Chains A and B, each alone.
Chain A
Amino acid sequence: DQQVKQNSPSLSVQEGRISILNCDYTNSMFDYFLWYKKYPAEGPTFLISISSIKDKNEDGRFTVFLNKSAKHLSLHIVPSQPGDSAVYFCAARTYSSNYKLTFGKGTLLTVNP
């Protein structure tokens, strides 16, 4: 049973436009959410996170939105740059999960010059 779902395997946008990556979850006990970026042949790197007491968190060009009632979160990248081309993983954890993260399958973002 997949608890964290990224339904779009890939997304292509033009440089300078907004990229929106989506993530849905089924476990209502999740209370902390993270986005990771992964380039080929490298390990994932942490991008941004949000706790369930917030509905928005911003860091430079990256903003994460959380809609708890819909069990949905999204990552907005504005403006998109070619260097943002990577696989993006959504991850979630519960308060009592003993440090475990549950990851989605990832979305490959391609930003075209």
Chain B
Amino acid sequence: DVKVTQSSRYLVKRTGEKVFLECVQDMDHENMFWYRQDPGLGLRLIYFSYDVKMKEKGDIPEGYSVSREKKERFSLILESASTNQTSMYLCASSPNLRTSGFFTDTQYFGPGTRLTVL
């Protein structure tokens, strides 16, 4: 069974603080992702990584950075937290599979971190 864990379920930080969100997966997946989920906006991709030390910007990377030093761990960093970064943050991982010419990798999600920035 795939296990994706996130370091905190709930986090409260102050404006301007540096915030680290950690994600660990135990299935040796190549790909890892950070999303945020907001009411009425669905899931929006912040950053993803397809290999150690490799990263690509998603749809809303502004105000965030990421780090992937080990295959199993993907960190999301808020350099200077702001109130508009209050959200549910979801980490996901996926294997690198190809079936019949299609990428069929399914993303497996962690439980999420509810971050509140005051």
What is the total of A-B residue contacts with beta carbons within 8 Å? 69
Q: Which residue of A lies closest to B56 (CB)?
A: A98
Check A99 against B48 for contact (C-beta < 8 Å): yes
Proximity bits, A5-24, B CB within 8 Å = 1, else 0: 01001000000000000000
A6 vs B101: C-alpha distance in the bound complex, in angstroms? 28
Q: Is A49 an interface residue (CB 8 A)?
A: yes
Determine which of A31, A53, A98, A101 lies in contact with B50 in the assembled complex, contact meaning CB atoms within 8 Å.
A98
CA distance A95 to B101 in the complex (A): 9
Q: How large is the interface on B (under 10, 10 to 19, 20 to 34, 35 or more residues)?
A: 20 to 34
A contact patch SS? loop
Whether, in the assembled complex, B106 has its beta carbon less than 8 Å from a beta carbon of chain A, the answer is: yes
Q: Quick check: A100 and B103 within 8 Å, CB to CB? A: no
CB distance from B56 to the nearest CB of A (A): 7
- The CA of A30 and the CA of B109, in the complex, are separated in Å by 22
Contact A32 B109 (CB under 8 A): no
Q: B109 near A99 (CB under 8 angstroms)? A: no
A52 to B44, CA, bound (A): 23
Instruction: Please give, as numbers and ranges, the residues of chain B lying within 8 Å of A34 by CB-CB distance.
Output: 106
Flag whether A103 is at the interface (Cβ < 8 A). yes
Option from A6, A41, A106 in Cβ contact (under 8 Å) with B112? A41
- State the main secondary structure of chain B at its contact with A: strand
Closest to B98 in A: A95
Known A-B contacts A99-B50, A103-B42; A44 and B104 likewise in contact (beta carbons under 8 Å): no
A21-64 vs B, CB cutoff 8 Å, 1 = contact: the mask equals 00000000001101010000111111001011100000000000
The interface residues of chain A lying within 8 Å CB-to-CB of B114 are: 41
Distance A30 CA – B9 CA, assembled complex (angstroms) = 33
Chain A residues with Cβ below 8 Å from B41 are: 105
A91, A101, A106 pick with most chain B CB within 10 angstroms: A101
Of residues 19 to 70 in B, which have CB atoms within 8 Å of A's CB atoms?
Answer: 31, 33, 35, 40-45, 48, 50, 56, 58
Q: State the A residues within 8 Å of B (CB).
A: 6, 9, 31-32, 34, 36, 41-46, 49, 51-53, 89, 91, 93, 95, 97-101, 103-106
